[in-house]
């Protein structure tokens, strides 16, 4: 509730730049670059009263003095991609009151270390060839070990959002010169998008505005129609949503069905090449080895005796190469990525024994290596190191090493 009130206050105060600064901590003592870039590229944004889709990407955010940050990035409306440069200034850091339940007890988390939460408020101005973005952003953060982190304690909860940008875009070209439009974006939700957002637990664009740039987003997430054609539409929309649109040399992916499995045709500056996948399960296009480049992979399936497929993007050759060590990963179900920790987590359940196993892997020296295991049995968590030695046990993930608390919270 406090965050909503702060957002409303930010909209009201947007016209004033001479506000009293309130710092619960000294901004000179922290670098907020990683906090401010959390969520980039921002796929959820609006421009104008018709809620046309706006996408933003921060290529770099660099601290220049105690309160100021230099920002470089790109905006995208329809197929119009524009580079921009500008600044962000920290204008407020306030401590939030802890949330309480109906009995007045402070709500805590069993998954991650409980911590004080702060609201970081910044003022921004980003200039590009056809106009300027300006406004304020609101971040929920916490501090630990001398660093600032985005507060993701409720990341999996219905309605979670963070890193809200509330502002305007003012045109400086042609017939629209001087015209000002609403321009908001954020992570998981868009501030000020009530008529557009019909979702409850997550953002869902209303059919009324779906033709205003939201088609691929909708089809990538909510097109559950059966049939091969719809499966292809959904899969290619997922690839389009993952495409690094700000990079003109980024791979272009096209999915096809061949003999009851997927094949992906990839076009790069090096040419066109086709990559084989073993089933009709949706291939993923994410940075699985955390080197800054998206990779292609398809999780295996125990019932199909399928080890899965992984092609890592090699920037030097601008092509994808098979990763044999991916076949050694133990999994049953989805592979979860945790970029902040540079690990992936998989699971394997033995329901008849009441045992649930979770595995962490890191990418080191060109291959995936096992980094630890947790077994959950009879509501007790047992943590083992990579060599199989028991090192922690407890009732909650917070009783284990910090990295497990982060992974279970996500």
Helix axes 215-222, 228-242, angle to 10 degrees: 120
The pLDDT tens digits of the residues spanning 264-286 come to 999 988 889 999 988 878 889 99
> pTM to 2 decimals?
0.78
Count CA atoms closer than 13 A to 331's CA, side-chain side. 23
The pLDDT tens digits of the residues spanning 147-160 come to 998 887 666 566 66
Residues 6+ apart with CB under 8 A from 244: 41, 250, 294
The pLDDT tens digits of the residues spanning 23-43 come to 899 999 999 999 998 888 899
The pLDDT tens digits of the residues spanning 174-233 come to 888 999 999 999 988 999 998 999 988 889 999 999 999 999 999 999 988 887 778 888
**Spatial separation of the C-alpha atoms in residues 149 and 38, rounded to whole Å:** 9
Structure token digits, residue 309: 């497929």
As to burial, measured by CB atoms within 10 angstroms (0-12 exposed, 13-18 middle, 19+ buried), residue 339 is exposed
Task: Give the closest residue to 244 by CA, choosing from 34, 72, 74, 85.
Answer: 74
The pLDDT tens digits of the residues spanning 107-159 come to 665 445 567 889 999 999 999 999 999 999 999 998 988 899 888 766 656 66
Instruction: Supply the pLDDT for residue 9.
Output: 52
How many percent of the chain have pLDDT more than 70? 88
**Spatial separation of the C-alpha atoms in residues 214 and 227, rounded to whole Å:** 22
**Spatial separation of the C-alpha atoms in residues 203 and 193, rounded to whole Å:** 10
Query: Beta strands 252-258 and 295-298: pairing type?
Result: unpaired
């Amino acid at each position: 509730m406090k965050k909503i009130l702060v957002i409303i206050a930010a909209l009201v105060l947007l016209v004033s730049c001479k506000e009293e600064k309130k710092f619960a901590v000294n901004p000179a003592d922290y670098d907020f670059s990683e906090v401010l870039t959390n969520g980039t590229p921002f796929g959820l944004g609006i421009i104008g009263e018709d809620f046309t889709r706006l996408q933003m990407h921060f290529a770099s955010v660099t601290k220049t003095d105690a309160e100021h940050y230099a920002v470089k990035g790109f905006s995208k409306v329809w197929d119009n991609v524009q580079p921009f440069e500008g600044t962000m200034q920290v204008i407020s850091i306030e401590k939030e009151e802890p949330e309480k339940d109906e009995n007045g007890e402070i709500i805590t988390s069993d998954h991650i270390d409980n911590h004080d939460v702060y609201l970081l408020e910044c003022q921004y101005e980003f200039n590009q060839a056809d106009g300027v973005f300006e406004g304020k952003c609101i971040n929920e953060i916490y501090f630990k070990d001398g660093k600032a982190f985005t507060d993701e304690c409720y990341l999996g909860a219905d309605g979670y959002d963070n890193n809200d940008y509330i502002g305007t875009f003012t045109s400086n070209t042609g017939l629209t010169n001087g015209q000002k439009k609403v321009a908001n974006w954020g992570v998981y939700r868009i501030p000020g998008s009530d008529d557009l957002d019909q979702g409850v637990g997550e953002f869902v664009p209303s059919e009324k505005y779906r033709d205003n740039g939201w088609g691929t987003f909708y089809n990538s997430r909510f097109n559950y129609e059966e049939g091969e054609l719809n499966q292809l539409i959904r899969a290619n929309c997922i690839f389009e949503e993952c495409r690094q649109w700000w990079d003109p040399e980024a791979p272009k992916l096209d999915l096809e069905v061949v003999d009851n499995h997927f094949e992906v045709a990839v076009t790069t500056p090096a040419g066109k090449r086709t990559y084989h996948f073993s089933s009709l399960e949706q291939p993923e296009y994410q940075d699985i080895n955390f080197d800054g480049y998206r990779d292609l992979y398809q999780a295996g399936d125990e019932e199909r005796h399928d080890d899965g497929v992984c092609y890592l993007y090699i920037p030097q050759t601008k092509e994808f190469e098979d990763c044999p060590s991916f076949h050694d990963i133990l999994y049953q179900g989805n592979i979860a990525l945790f970029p902040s920790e540079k690990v992936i987590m998989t699971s394997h359940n033995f329901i008849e024994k009441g045992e649930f196993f979770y595995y962490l892997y890191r990418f080191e020296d060109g291959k995936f290596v096992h980094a630890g295991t947790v077994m959950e049995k009879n509501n007790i968590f047992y943590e083992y190191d990579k060599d199989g030695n028991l090192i922690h046990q407890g009732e909650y993930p917070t009783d284990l090493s910090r990295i497990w608390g982060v992974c279970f919270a996500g």
